[in-house]
Amino acid sequence: MGEQHHIEGNIQEKYSLDDQTKKYILGFIGGGLLLVIIGIVLAMVGGHDAGHGHGEHHGGLHTAVWLRQLFSNLLINTYFFAGIAILAVFFLAVKTVSNAGWYVVIKRVPEAISEYLPVGLILLGIVLLGGLFSHSLYLWSDEEALKADHHYHVIKEKLGYLNTGFFVGRMLLIFILWIVFQRMFMKHSIEQDNPATVMSSFNASFKTGAIFLFVFAITMSMAAWDWFMSIVPAWFSTMFGVYIFASSWVSFLAMATLIVLYLKRKGYMGYVNENHIHDLGKFVFAFSIFWTYIWFCEYLLIWYANIPEETFYFYNILHSPLYSTIFVGKFLINFILPFFVLMTRDAKRNMKTLAIVCSCVLFGHWLDLYIAVFPGTLTHEGIFGPMEIGMFLMFFGIFGYFVLNKLGQRNLVPEHHPYLEESLHHHVF
C-alpha cells in the first residue's frame, strides 16, 4: 500500500454515532414534529374554505387548504432528501466512469447517503399517491376543478400523458430503476472490500455507471415533469428537468461536504486533507453558478417568448409578497453567497466558512422546491410558518439519523480500492 505511514489518520477506522449527535438528531425530529402539529392545527383553525383561491389562472383544487399545505410540505421534503440520495448515486457513477481517484477517501459518504434512497422513495411514493388520490397536489387529477380552470383547453390536450394510471406506472418505473442501480453500486462496493474480487468488481462498476448515466438522464427529467411541473399542468418549460437536477445536485454536494466536515470535527478522517476539502468547495462553488445559469435561462426564455401559457407561472410568483421575497431570497442564498464567499482559494479550504455556506445553500435549495410547489398548489394562500419549518427539521433529522447509522456499518475508507493511494496523496497545485 505504498507510504501509508506518512498519512494522518487510521484508514481502518469506523464511525460510531455518539450520544451528543443522537440528542441533536432526536431534537430535530421531536421539535420538527411538534411544529408540524402546531402548523396543522393553526391551518385547520385559521384556514380558508376548500376550493377557494387557486389563483387568477386556476379554478381551484376542491380540497381543504390545510390538506393542500400538508401534502405540499410532504412533497417538498420527501423529494428533497430522496433527491439528495439519488444524486449521491449519480456522483458515484460520474466518478467511476471518469476514472476519478481523488474522492476515494470520502467515497463512503455518498454511499451512505445513497442508502437512504429506498426509504426516501417509499415515503415519496406514499405522498405522491396520497396527493394524487386526495386531489391535493395535482389539478389534472381533479376532474371538476380541471374543467373550471381557465386553461382547460390547453390541459385537455395533455391528458393522454397526465392521467392517474400512466402517472403511477411512470413513478413505479423510476423508483425501480433508481433502486436497482443504487443496489448494484453498493454490491460492487461491498465486493471491492474483498481483495480477491476487488478488480473484477471495480471493472464491472464502469459498465453499471455508464448505463446508469443514460437511464438517469431520462428518468430524472420524467420525475421533474411528473412530480413538479405537472402541478401547474398548463405551464411547461424545456429547461425544467435540468433545473430540478441542478438544484438537487447542489443540495447533494452541500450535504456531502457537511457530513465530511462533521466527521473531521469529530476526529475522524484525518487522511482527508485540505486539498480534498478544497475540491468539495470548488464543486459547491462551480455548480452554484451552474444552477444560477439554468435558473436565469429558464426565466429569460419565458420572458422573451412571452407566451401566456408560460408567463403566468412567473407572474403569479412575482406578484405575491411571500413568493417574490423567497424567489429573490433563494437567488441571494444560492448564488450571491457561495459566489462571493467561496471565490478565494483560502475560503474553500476553511472548514468553518465552508460549513456555513453549505448549510445556507442546503436551505436555499429547499426554498427552491418551495417555490416549485406552493404557488401551484396554494397560489395566494401560500404560507411559510411552523408546518414548513417543522417539516424540514423533522425530515432532516430522519435523514441524518439514517445516513449516519449506515456510515457506521463499514470502515470509513475502502482500503482495497485501486485508487486509494492516489486519493491519500491528493494534492491541488
pLDDT in tens, 315-368: 888 888 999 999 999 999 999 999 999 999 999 999 999 999 999 999 999 999
Q: Can you tell me the mean pLDDT for 30-46?
A: 93
3-state secondary structure of 411: strand
Share of the chain above pLDDT 90, in %: 67
3-state helix, strand, coil in the chain (%, to 5): 75, 0, 25
Contacts of 314 (CB under 8 A, 6+ apart): 299, 302, 303
Mean pLDDT estimate for the chain: 90
Confidence of residue 10 (pLDDT cuts 50, 70, 90): confident
Residue 425 lies in a domain: no
Residue 239 has phi, psi (to 5 degrees) of: -95, -10
Q: pLDDT of 385-426, one tens digit each?
A: 999 999 999 999 999 999 999 999 999 999 888 888 888 888
Between CA 400 and CA 421 the distance in angstroms is 30
Q: In this structure, what DSSP letter does residue 338 have?
A: H
Residue 4 lies in a domain: no
Contacts of 188 (CB under 8 A, 6+ apart): 201, 202, 204, 205, 208
Contact 65/91 with Cβ under 8 angstroms? Answer: no
Does the pLDDT at position 155 exceed 70?
Answer: yes
Is the pTM above the cut of 0.95? no
Least confident of 57-61, 238-242, 258-262: 57-61
Contact 227/241 with Cβ under 8 angstroms? Answer: no
Least confident of 150-159, 168-177, 233-242: 150-159
Our count of domains for the chain comes to 1
Domain span including residue 70: 16-412
Between CA 324 and CA 345 the distance in angstroms is 34
Between CA 334 and CA 117 the distance in angstroms is 24
Residue 319 has phi, psi (to 5 degrees) of: -105, 15
Q: Can you tell me the mean pLDDT for 286-311?
A: 89
Residue 231 lies in a domain: yes
Residue 75 lies in a domain: yes
Residue 10 lies in a domain: no
Residue 20 lies in a domain: yes
Residue 323 lies in a domain: yes
Q: Can you tell me the mean pLDDT for 193-207?
A: 89
What pLDDT does residue 5 have? Answer: 37
Between CA 98 and CA 92 the distance in angstroms is 10
What pLDDT does residue 381 have? Answer: 73
Confidence of residue 236 (pLDDT cuts 50, 70, 90): confident
Residue 210 lies in a domain: yes
